[in-house]
């Protein structure tokens, strides 16, 4: 291999998007499925694999199907308690098997999960985006800043602690949850940290991914992965609380995927994939980012920090400070 060939190879990164459905509200079975696809991604040569928002143990589809805004409803309380039982407690080691799989396959992972946060008392739920490096180490846990619409009936607002980027040579990778990707300042905070590979995770919906994926790519002059989940009526397990009520109001397809990848020029690398459970794989070339940054770099030579600046508060929010 000559110097030019080696240089070209050093600019490349192979990534995967696992567009899958959860075994809804079953943490252990869904985690088994996630580990399976992480292993497949490693076998396919991926250095990164991304999964959809709230995939582990699942998105709270029941809220809009069961009159979720009814106050003090026994139905809502029972389903929410079940959701808590199957949520992720990172301190308890619930993600340890996935960390081991990442290390064995030498593949980094972005995973959307529902976190039952011990540092907030252990009884509130957060929509979190977890980054596990290729050594199997959890490097960041980003709690969604603002749950969207009915999500606020079950998820708590997060903070900026996990708004971090990570080296994934030759790229710098960061990510946001769902409609956070519409928040200009959240995006700008990642751009300013050197992000050039952006992971946007979604519960699933091509109506979400088809426009914004290419928009963020053009705005940031970066590669953008939109990782979306699937959810079909058949994906509700038989033991789901109040299943008959949920199914009575459920469409056949609740989340149709839409996972895709756009390049730094805003053109498709992988067009949106709809309605199919599969591992999408693509190889990206960092040289294209450097080419597109020649005429626009939103945090670099095309920024005016003397005129506008952004402050990012990465303090992990808590109601308690202990002094001993």
Predicted TM-score of the model (pTM): 0.95
User: Which residue in the list 33, 46, 115, 144 is annotated as catalytic?
Assistant: 144
Q: Which domain holds residue 113?
A: 13-292
Beta-strand ranges (E) seen in 125-170 are 125-132, 138-143, 166-168
> Which residues, 6 or more positions from 158, have their beta carbon under 8 angstroms from its beta carbon?
126, 127, 128, 142, 143, 144, 145, 146
Say if 154 falls within a structural domain: yes
**The domain spanning residue 123 has which CATH number?**
3.60.110.10
Say if 223 falls within a structural domain. yes
Q: Is residue 298 part of a domain?
A: no
Does the residue 324 lie in any domain?
Answer: no
Q: Specify the number of domains making up the chain.
A: 1
Q: Is residue 305 part of a domain?
A: no
Beta strand ranges found along 102-229 (DSSP E): 108-116, 125-132, 138-143, 166-168, 171-177, 197-202, 223-228
Residues 6+ apart with CB under 8 A from 288: 223, 263, 264, 265
Q: Cα–Cα distance between 112 and 59 in angstroms, integer?
A: 10
Q: Give me the catalytic one of 33, 53, 127, 151.
A: 53
In the residue annotation, 53 being an active-site residue is answered as yes
- Single out the catalytic residue among 46, 99, 178, 260: 178
pLDDT (tens, 9 = 90+) of the chain, 324 residues, equals 665 566 667 999 999 999 999 999 999 999 999 999 999 999 999 999 999 999 999 999 999 999 999 999 999 999 999 999 999 999 999 999 999 999 999 999 999 999 999 999 999 999 999 999 999 999 999 999 999 999 999 999 999 999 999 999 999 999 999 999 999 999 999 999 999 999 999 999 999 999 999 999 999 999 999 999 999 999 999 999 999 999 999 999 999 999 999 999 999 999 999 999 999 999 999 999 999 999 999 999 999 999 999 999 999 999 988 999
Residue 108 in domain: yes
**Angle of helix 96-105 versus helix 27-43 axis, rounded to 10:** 10
Is the residue at 40 inside a domain? yes
E strand or H helix at 14: strand 12-19
């Amino acid at each position: 291999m000559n110097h030019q060939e080696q240089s070209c190879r050093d600019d490349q990164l192979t990534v995967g998007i696992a567009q899958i459905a959860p075994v809804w509200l079953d943490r252990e079975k869904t985690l088994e499925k996630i580990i399976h696809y992480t292993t497949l991604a490693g076998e396919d040569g991926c250095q990164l694999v991304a999964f959809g928002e709230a995939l582990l143990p699942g998105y709270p589809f029941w809220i809009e199907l069961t009159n979720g805004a009814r106050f003090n409803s026994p139905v809502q309380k029972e389903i929410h308690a079940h959701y808590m039982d199957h949520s992720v407690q990172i301190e308890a080691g619930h993600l340890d098997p996935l960390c081991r799989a990442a290390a064995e396959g030498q593949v980094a992972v972005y995973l959307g999960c529902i976190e039952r946060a011990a540092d907030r008392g252990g009884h509130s739920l957060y929509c979190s985006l977890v980054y596990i490096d290729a050594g199997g180490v959890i490097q960041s846990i980003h709690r969604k800043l603002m749950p969207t619409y009915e999500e606020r009936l079950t998820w708590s607002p997060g903070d900026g602690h996990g708004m971090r980027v990570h080296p994934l040579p030759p790229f710098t990778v960061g990510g946001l949850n769902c409609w956070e990707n519409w928040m200009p300042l959240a995006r700008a905070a990642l751009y300013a940290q050197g992000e050039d590979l952006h992971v946007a995770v979604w519960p699933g919906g091509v109506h979400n991914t088809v426009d914004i994926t290419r928009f963020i790519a053009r705005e940031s002059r970066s590669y953008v992965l939109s990782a979306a989940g699937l959810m079909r009526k058949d994906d509700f397990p038989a033991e789901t609380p109040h299943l008959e009520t949920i199914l009575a109001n459920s469409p056949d397809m609740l989340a149709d995927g839409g996972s895709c990848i756009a390049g730094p020029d805003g053109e498709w690398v992988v067009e949106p994939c709809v309605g199919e459970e599969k591992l999408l794989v693509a190889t990206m070339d960092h040289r294209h980012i450097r080419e597109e940054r020649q005429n626009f770099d939103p945090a670099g030579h095309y920024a005016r920090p003397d005129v506008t600046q952004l402050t990012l508060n990465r303090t992990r929010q808590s109601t308690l400070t202990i002094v001993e």
